[in-house]
Amino acid sequence: MNHGERFVFIAEWYDPNASLFRRYELLFYPGDGSVEMHDVKNHRTFLKRTKYDDLHLEDLFIGNKVNVFSRQLVLVDYGDQYTARQLGSRKEKKEAMDFHIDHQSRPFLNELIQFITSGPTIAMEILRDDAICEWKRLLGPANSGMARTDAPGSLRALFGTDGIRNAVHGPNSFASAAREMELFFPSSGVCGPANTAKFTNCTCCIIKPHAISEGLLGKILMAIRDAGFDISAMQMFNMDRVNVEEFYEVYKGVVSEYNEMVTEMYSGPCVAMEIQQNNPTKTFREFCGPADPEIARHLRPGTLRAVFGKTKIQNAVHCTDLPEDGLLEVQYFFKILDN
């Protein structure tokens, strides 16, 4: 082993006294198992290089939580290009191999793993009577070329390319469905795959429960993407009243509809997103339009709230108002609630 080799990660620690996340550069030297930490904000050494036997190379992947001298750190990014190249795909490929265990002996396995780890994916739990059979019917044949002939209205016929790039996956049996659900949404309390939030140059958008129940999720997502915004993280949450009041605290005593806003947000599932673009908070807030959909339809008729909103409470989406709050709102969902 190269004793001079080192791997660098950006790590965050939540300081309960200051109620904020502190960011560090974590260096790990696999040759002797030593660690070193630098305070990113203050540009100073936080921990001199010290041997630490409780941290191992296999612990180092984005999204994992590691303990370094009783301080729990979350690894949020790679600290240099070398680390990204050497370790970047290791965890993702193992997860993909576990997911596609039924294809271990197939000749196309390597191509499939390469494709599924080439970018973000969305995992969903879908409920209905006879869900597995009905989902398979909606998907169509595994090869998109065959699907366009045999089931031209199926998802793979409409959105897939071939047998690997076939748009969507579905389990073949109840046992496969149960295994796959456990990989993405563990029932044992362990963490599933890390979310994809980047926590840089971002703002927050929440698709409200009424829009979800009205079947508008897909249309709103398409509108956001068509407008040129990058959805870098997305997750469904079922918030309780305490969470919503904490999130909406800035509006308490300021907005007369505060109580109604709170009630709407915990009335059902919502979808939170990290949105990225240049000057994201200002440009995305303008794209959402005025909070009152009636005003939006007169002044900004092409905005999200004008198109999908109903009332000032059920106005389809929440968006961050102030640039300095964009990162904080994203962190609330993808660090605090997700954990």
Active-site residue list = 169
* Residue 71, beta-bridge partner list: 68
CA distances in angstroms from 30 to 63, 89, 260, 275, listed in the order given: 20, 18, 54, 36
Gap between the terminal Cα atoms of the chain: 35
3-class DSSP state for residue 312? coil
CA distances in angstroms from 117 to 9, 78, 95, 182, listed in the order given: 20, 17, 9, 19
DSSP per position, 72-108: EEEEEEESSHHHHHHHTTHHHHHHHHHHTGGGTT-TT
Cβ-Cβ contacts under 8 Å for 272 (sequence gap 6 or more):
204, 205, 206, 234, 235, 236, 237, 333, 334
At 121, list the tokens. Answer: 């994916």
Cα distance between residue 231 and residue 211, in whole Å: 18
Cα distance between residue 204 and residue 4, in whole Å: 41
For 307, what's the count of Cα atoms within 13 Å in the CB-facing half-sphere? 13
| Count of CB atoms situated within 10 Å of the CB of 48 | 9
